[in-house]
Chains A and B, each alone.
Chain A
């Protein structure tokens, strides 16, 4: 099967105080339809920038220059216009961010924040969109979704907010879901629940998953293949079992050594 996402020689360059800094140094990888791939590395290794590059999202107020090729469903995302890219975002490729506490608009009800993406991409009527929103909230495990849809973010806990954000991300049944450290900001017990939810939704909706984390423990049981990133490059790539059993790169070994238990006791799967 041909890959869903085909990244070739991707570079990302920021201008900091006028001095260009290359954060991603020509990386290449594939993600097949429905496949789940982990990206592991410490903060600043370029994994989040890679995710943002696929979404073509530059941080507010800074400029990034991307190079290389991001093939997706037969087109190069880096050559699309901003307008064409907006049709991809949220519809074909969706993203879940790290900090659920800051990721919801505090002055809109959570329902309205799912309604707007639905109405943007699906052409549902206001009423039909709300119906779908309630279904989605139920799908991600929010109790009394019809009532809770009118609540505001500050009435939800961190874990519940991340569920809402996942509902937003999967609302238009994207082909690829990028989850950038989706559990880092959450309590340990909640982390497991969120990972289970992501795994379940991926299988039910047939999405490909790109799971980004600094923690090898998180991806165990979640992904089929792993790319280890360091200093803006992919230093090691392969099936997860192989990587756990016989890491070749010293950096991978160091990362693995930082994980307390690797005996398969991690939740998920």
Chain B
């Protein structure tokens, strides 16, 4: 088991390295000069500009710049924000936690909704199957920012007095904090639930036709025991994988949702940084988000191996 974990991490390392290169290269490919950009809109003398270049190490060869940047990043130094002149990491961490919470709630919602509709669709078939599949097709076609906009619109029209959209920090009131994230999480979860639902449906149908389910019924086990130990446990494995892979979609979607609901998370931070051209911040967010997605995928693989004894350990 340890070997498998180590191997999986080793395979991820080159990809992480590639991700860091892309994050680095993106901000060096800017039209114009990184130093110029760092100065923002203020006019600046040529000498001062040279000074900034030296400070940022821009006079060195590009690979040396990359190594220095990577070295710093590994030690948690993502550079100074152009906008606030404070370390990017310090700005990023509290926002990341907010996004992580939002993503987690949304993920749980999507998993619950997806597995329930998928299971109902596969077990009850007929009309239920029909309704679930139609509902899924429709959900798939409605982008999360449209859902979010419509939710805000409806709530604004019918419940203008309720302050459900005001984000409450966790430290202030944990319950109100979670409540304030429910609608944003729902608009994120709907699209993602479709993938989970379709995969659950396919997996349950596939498992239902397996001989071991017939054997379980021939044992006289109760319907709920057959469902729990034979159907769901076998169908769950692919569903776990799919849910993990949806992390990327959830993180990407949170950019829009946080902007619409004004939640001070990483997505909103990215949006702000893009508008203020705060390139070190953008770089940091891209690096952190992509790394998190990669690591979650590794975790999913490991969880998969634990649930399914058939996956070989080497």
Contact = CB atoms under 8 A, between A and B. Distances in A.
A144 to B, nearest CB: 19
Contact of B220 (A97, A102, A105, A120): A120
Interface residues of B, number: 27
B208 interface: yes
A89 B218 contact: yes
Interface in B188-246: 205, 208-222, 225, 229-230, 233-234, 237
A89 B237 CA distance: 29
Given A61-B125, A105-B229, A120 B213 contact: no
Contact of B218 (A57, A99, A107, A152): A57
A167 B211 CA distance: 17
Contacts, number: 85
Contacts of B309: 106-107, 152, 154
B221 A97 contact: no
A97 B211 contact: yes
A123 to B, nearest CB: 13
B310 interface: yes
A121 B307 CA distance: 28
Given A152-B309, A152-B310, A168-B215, A89 B220 contact: yes
A103 interface: yes
A87 B220 contact: yes
Nearest to B209: A60
A23 to B, nearest CB: 17
A99 B211 CA distance: 8
B220 A103 contact: no
Interface string A29-60: 00000000000000000000000000101011
Given A116-B229, A152-B309, A154-B309, A104 B218 contact: no
A116 B237 contact: no
Nearest to A178: B218
B215 A60 contact: no
B220 A117 contact: yes
Contacts of B230: 105
17 contacts: A55-B218, A60-B213, A61-B205, A99-B211, A102-B210, A103-B214, A104-B212, A104-B215, A105-B216, A106-B234, A106-B309, A107-B308, A108-B229, A116-B221, A116-B225, A120-B221, A121-B220
Given A86-B221, A104-B215, A117-B219, 10 more contacts: A61-B205, A89-B217, A91-B220, A97-B215, A102-B210, A106-B234, A106-B308, A107-B309, A116-B219, A154-B309
